Amino acid sequence: MIYSTKGIVLRAIKYGETSIIASIFTEIFGIQSYMVNGVRTSGKTSKAHFFQPSSLLELQVYHNELKNLQRIKELKWSILYKNILSDVTKNTVALYMVELLQKSLKQPEANADLFHFCEDAFLQLDIANDEITANFPIYFSLQLAPFLGFRLQDNYSEKRNVFNLREGNFSDAESSAPDHLGVDISFHISQLLKAIHPEDLSEIKINRNIRRTILKSMESYYAWHIPEFGSMKTLPVLSEIL
């Protein structure tokens, strides 16, 4: 059968001379792999530009639950970004978000709420100012976790002022254990957890070193909750750019 769905491109791998296999997070089927033939051709008919990571597409797809590899009948832009694909900083943040989704979405399960959150996050990044963009990777990491079943609890207080990465909450006593963060870093995490909308990030002032530490901590937090999560390849580049 043919279905209409929105999709967020996560990855495209070359296949043969002119084809690709695209990993796309779809609105109605979750993450899916699509064989796209003849896309890597020269000239005006080439559609390779549609499959840049983070692209938002409108798709008509053939779907068979018994197959691991699906096919696309028609595609077009859902929304064409103004900045993400051309701005180096925003593109690097978007690639981080894409990689985090790739590592987190293991099974092709439909999750429309998660899709809409991700779609809106990319659109908000596209129009964000520099201050918001700098904190956006942390914001996305914190906001994505509840959809995956391991929400970080915002129970910060004067006494509970140390964040426990394994438990995902604030503790009432500082520990030397590697899964507890320092008081300063924990305070900034508590502030970031209070950001409901990306615009709230403009009020949160964080220097480069704290931002790097929090992003590295988020990598550890996800790795503890998702089997075979591994390390984020985009994180070193992101840390330098931000």
* Residue listed under structure tokens 């990689």: 99
Structure tokens at 188: 């900034």
**Which pLDDT value is given to residue 125?**
98
- Torsion (CA) 149, 234, 127, 130 in degrees, nearest 10: 110
In angstroms, the first-to-last Cα distance of the chain is: 45
Q: Is the pLDDT of residue 176 over 60?
A: no
Please state which of the four CATH numbers 3.90.25.10, 1.20.1440.120, 3.30.70.100, 2.60.40.10 is assigned to the domain occupying 83-242.
1.20.1440.120
**Which pLDDT value is given to residue 43?**
62
| Buried/exposed code over 207-240 (b: 16+ C-beta within 10 A; e: otherwise) | eeebbbbbbebbbbbbbeebeebeebebbeebbe
Residue of 167, 169, 160, 159 whose CA lies nearest to 193: 169
* Summary mean pLDDT of the chain: 93
Burial of 148 (0-12, 13-18, 19+ CB in 10 A): middle
Domain 1-80, what architecture?
A: Beta Barrel (2.40)
Q: Is the pLDDT of residue 175 over 80?
A: no
Give the pLDDT confidence of 200-221 residue by residue, as tens digits. 999 898 999 999 999 999 999 9
Give the pLDDT confidence of 219-241 residue by residue, as tens digits. 999 999 999 999 999 999 998 88
Same-fold call for 1-80 versus 83-242: no
Task: List the chain domain ranges.
Answer: 1-80, 83-242
The overall longest dimension of the chain from CA atoms, in Å, is 64
Residues with Cβ within 8 Å of 187's Cβ and at least 6 positions away in sequence, in order, are 156, 161
Under 8 Å between Cβ of 47 and 54: no
